[in-house]
Every structure is written in C-alpha cells, then in structure tokens.
C-alpha cells in the first residue's frame, strides 16, 4: 500500500485543526489564495472535474468548488475526511470526499479527470514514483496536473524542518521527513516519465513578518509545478 501509517496517524492527531486559521494549518490557510491564483492563471476551473489528492480538510477543494469546479477530494486520514465533509456541509458546498489512497481509489473509480491537484502530498508518500504513475492513470490527454512540495537541500532542511517545526512552531512537529523532500529536477523527471510535459516550476516565498506567500523565482524551499498530460 502506497501509504505511510505513521504519517496518517500524525495527520489524524491534527485533523480537528484544519479550519482553525490560527492553528497548525495557519500557513496552508495563508497559502490558499496564492494556490487558487496560480491554478487560475493556467486554467479556468469552472465546470472542470478536479481530483484533489491528499486534500486535507478541504481548504482548496472548497475554494475551487466556489469557482464552479466539480471536485473530488481524496485523503487517507479518516478523521481528516470527516472534518472536510462536515465543513463542506456547513458551507453548503457539494464536494465528493473519499477516504482513500489514490492507489485504492483507482481500483473502483474509472473516471479520468480534467485536472489533478497534488499539493503538499508527495513528501508524505513512500513510493513517489508510483504516486505519479497512478496520477497518470486518472488523467486524459491535456489534463492539467498541479503539484507542490518541498525541495531537498540544506536551506529547505533549515526552514521547512528545523525553523518551521521546532523554532517558530508554525507547522506541527514531525510533519516532515527530510529524506522525502524532492528536488524540482527529480519531480520533473517523474512527471515526464508519467507522460506529462512540465510547463512551469515556480518558487513560493514566505513573508516572515505577516506569514503571507508570493511566487518567486527561488525554488530552494517550497515550489509549485504545472504540467500537462501528453
């Protein structure tokens, strides 16, 4: 199974915090507007069938649904999916949430999606190559794939692991494992192997004063990648 049980246990612990804007997922709340802008600069999501893999509490799924997308959100943490379902219900939004890994999901669901989102997930997955190959299976010609993750180098280790988890405590302790961080060139290779064409790699910069985000040419820590299925 392409899932790390320890990771899921960790996400279960903080599941109730997903919609707390000042809680452990504060940075993801602050990043969401930039993510929406990044996606919309590439496609109009209205009417598109979108698969959000590792959707967490549904922060992005809800924003995309409000913009007219038809979203399916997958997450392997049962507590997380329950929080996502409850919040969508309270917000009167129709989102298809499924508690599953992608690997298990594709055994049942034979749909192909117009757009696949895989944000801050690949660094939590044991077999990263398999994840990308499975993404290819739910894609059709010209499907868009948006990914985001953390680069692997001394700077990302210092900021994404040590400072974020232990010094500033703005990310739950134990969230990240350095060995699973992935360089843009490595991710691009995996994505190309899965028959996607990489179109953009953009860095994500954190303003340390107000913890807001903007795009940057510097990809040393967090970065987005857009690609299209050939």
Ligand X SMILES: C[S@@+](CC[C@H](N)C(=O)[O-])C[C@H]1O[C@@H](n2cnc3c(N)ncnc32)[C@H](O)[C@@H]1O
Sign of the dihedral defined by the CA atoms of residues 155, 159, 161, 166, in that order: positive
- Beta carbon of residue 141, minimum distance to ligand X (angstroms, whole number): 25
| Half-sphere exposure of residue 46: CA atoms within 13 angstroms, side-chain side | 2
SS3 state at 197: strand
| Segment contacting ligand X by CB under 6 A, of 71-79, 132-140, 201-209, 221-229 | 71-79
Residues from 155 through 194 that contact ligand X (CB under 6 A): none
By CB under 6 A, tell whether 72 contacts ligand X: no
Residue 48 sits in the site that holds ligand X (CB under 6 A): no
Binding residues among 92-111 for ligand X as defined by CB under 6 A: 101
> Among 49, 65, 72, 80, which residue sits at the site for ligand X (rule: CB under 6 A)?
80
- Is residue 160 within 8 Å of 176, Cβ to Cβ? yes
Q: Are strands 139-150 and 222-229 parallel, antiparallel or unpaired?
A: antiparallel
End-to-end CA distance of the chain: 28
56 binds ligand X per the rule CB under 6 A: yes
Residues that bind ligand X (CB under 6 A): 2-3, 7-8, 11, 28, 54-56, 59-60, 74-77, 80, 101, 119-121, 124-125
């Amino acid at each position: 199974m392409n899932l790390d049980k320890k990771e899921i246990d960790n996400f279960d612990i903080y599941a109730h915090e997903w919609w707390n804007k000042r809680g452990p997922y504060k940075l993801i709340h602050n990043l969401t507007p930039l993510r929406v802008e990044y996606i919309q600069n590439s496609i109009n999501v209205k009417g598109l069938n979108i698969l959000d893999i590792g959707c967490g509490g549904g922060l992005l799924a809800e924003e995309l649904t409000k913009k007219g997308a038809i979203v399916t959100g997958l997450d392997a943490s049962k507590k997380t999916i329950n929080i996502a379902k409850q919040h969508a219900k309270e917000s009167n939004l129709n989102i298809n949430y499924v508690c599953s890994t992608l690997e298990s999901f594709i055994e049942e669901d034979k749909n192909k999606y117009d757009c696949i989102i895989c944000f801050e997930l690949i660094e939590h997955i044991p077999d990263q190559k398999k994840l990308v190959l499975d993404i290819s299976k739910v894609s059709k010609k010209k499907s868009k794939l948006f990914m985001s993750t953390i680069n692997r180098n001394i700077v990302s280790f210092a900021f994404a692991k040590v400072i974020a988890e232990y010094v500033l405590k703005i990310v739950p302790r134990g969230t990240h494992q350095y060995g699973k961080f992935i360089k843009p060139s490595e991710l691009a290779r995996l994505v190309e192997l899965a028959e996607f064409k990489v179109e953009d790699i953009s860095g994500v910069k954190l303003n340390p004063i107000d913890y807001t985000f903007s795009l940057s040419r510097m990809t040393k820590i967090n970065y987005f990648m857009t690609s299209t299925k050939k």
